[in-house]
Amino acid sequence: MKVVYTPAHLLHDPHSEIHTSGTHSPFEHIGRAETIKETLAADGSFSFTAPTEWGTEPIAAVHDPGLLRFLGTAWAEYQLYMPATREVVPDVFFRNPLRNKMSELGEPESINGRLGWWCFETTTPLTEGTYTAARGAVDTALTTTQIVLDGDRWAYGLCRPPGHHAATSLYGGYCFFNNAAIAAHHVASTTGTKVTVLDVDYHHGNGTQEIFYDRDDVQYVSLHGDPARAYPFTIGYADETGTGRGLGSNLNLPLPERTDDDGFVAALERACAAIAAFGPSTLVVSLGLDTFITDPICDLAVTTAGFERCGALVAQLGLPTVVLQEGGYDVDHLGENVRRWLVGLRGSAG
Ligand SMILES: [Zn+2]
């Protein structure tokens, strides 16, 4: 199986995040991708390749071009406002009720106002190299996708930063550009065929859902901690099924606390039945391993053996499959959990 990796992710190196009312060392850090890379390299049966450059067009096809422009310049602009700030985080968020009964507001002028316009929460600092790293993650996703479009049965993109919380016009949740959505749109728009994004990260992929919510050519199916208790709290409920032409193309399967291997696999079987009924040409998997039993910020109980079962179940769909890295924060086990999921997917096919 081919693995796409770029060291560009090392340029996104936050030293802190604002989480649960305090400043902490970040859960999303460079060690995550490095341990995955090292574990897959040590296995010996994965072949590594570097991404090619895709430019900004595929990003602007999914995201608001204003978000793209903002992320390209925001860190440097903030240095004019607050010099020598290593990590840039908004402290004022734009919310519609602020301007009740008033005219609609366009993008504010000041960098501080613009931060709160394009970002929706506080755990996602911009650093000097964030934009370059985020572009590298998109290039990784698209190169992985092209490998599958060119005939490989499956391929894995070691995307970092992750992507599934990034919406059309918002970044947050450790995500800047939605790698999986950009990949899925690339397949749908270049082949004219249907695509499914299967999201198995602990957290609901609010960005991916929002991007495709009114489309009937891209299905979004997600297993995740119930947003009644889990981030992102405001989206990911079972009654969100799509709108307009997209009605019926969105399936959320919220899961209870401590869901174990059997419970997770049972939900994944439901997901796979819905995918088979939709009939996509290609599957894009948002692979988060934060459903793991000892993940520090999540509350499910999937084991390493469970991840291999999940990969094997997805393989039974018989679809060309693009696997893209999302979350997973138990760094001691993350590499092995990814490896076993991929081993489950490819079976004995190599
Ligand atoms: Zn997650």
The model's pLDDT over 328-338, given as tens digits with 9 standing for 90+, comes to: 999 999 999 99
Mean pLDDT is lowest, of 104-108, 173-177, 179-183, 260-264, for: 104-108
What is the 257 CA–ligand 1 centroid distance (Å)? 15
Residue 349 has pLDDT above 60, yes or no: no
What is the 53 CA–ligand 1 centroid distance (Å)? 27
Q: At what angle do helices 130-149 and 179-191 cross, to 10 degrees?
A: 40
Question: What is the pLDDT, as a whole number, of residue 205?
Answer: 98
Judge if the upstream peptide bond of residue 232 is cis by omega within 30 degrees of 0: yes
* 105 or 264: which leads in pLDDT: 264
What is the 217 CA–ligand 1 centroid distance (Å)? 25
Residue 115 has pLDDT above 90, yes or no: yes
Residue 55 has pLDDT above 70, yes or no: yes
What is the 110 CA–ligand 1 centroid distance (Å)? 31
**Span 261-269, average pLDDT:** 98
Residue 28 has pLDDT above 90, yes or no: yes
Confidence of residue 348 (pLDDT cuts 50, 70, 90): low
Q: Rounded to two decimals, what is the model's pTM?
A: 0.98
**Span 303-318, average pLDDT:** 98
What is the 98 CA–ligand 1 centroid distance (Å)? 30
Any idea what DSSP says for residue 260? B
Provide the domain count of the chain.
1
Question: What is the pLDDT, as a whole number, of residue 324?
Answer: 99
Question: What is the pLDDT, as a whole number, of residue 130?
Answer: 98
**Span 81-104, average pLDDT:** 94
Instruction: Give the tokens for residue 218.
Output: 């891209």
Range of the domain at 19: 2-346
What is the 129 CA–ligand 1 centroid distance (Å)? 22
Is the four-CA dihedral 177, 179, 184, 189 of positive or negative sign? Answer: positive
Distance CA 222, CA 324 (A): 14
Distance CA 136, CA 153 (A): 23
**Span 248-261, average pLDDT:** 98
Q: Which active-site residues does the annotation give?
A: 165
Mean pLDDT is lowest, of 103-107, 113-117, 177-181, 313-317, for: 103-107
Count each helix (H run) and each strand (E run) in the chain, helices first: 10, 10
Mean pLDDT is lowest, of 6-10, 104-108, 145-149, 309-313, for: 104-108
Distance CA 233, CA 250 (A): 18
Residue 220: which CATH number?
A: 3.40.800.20
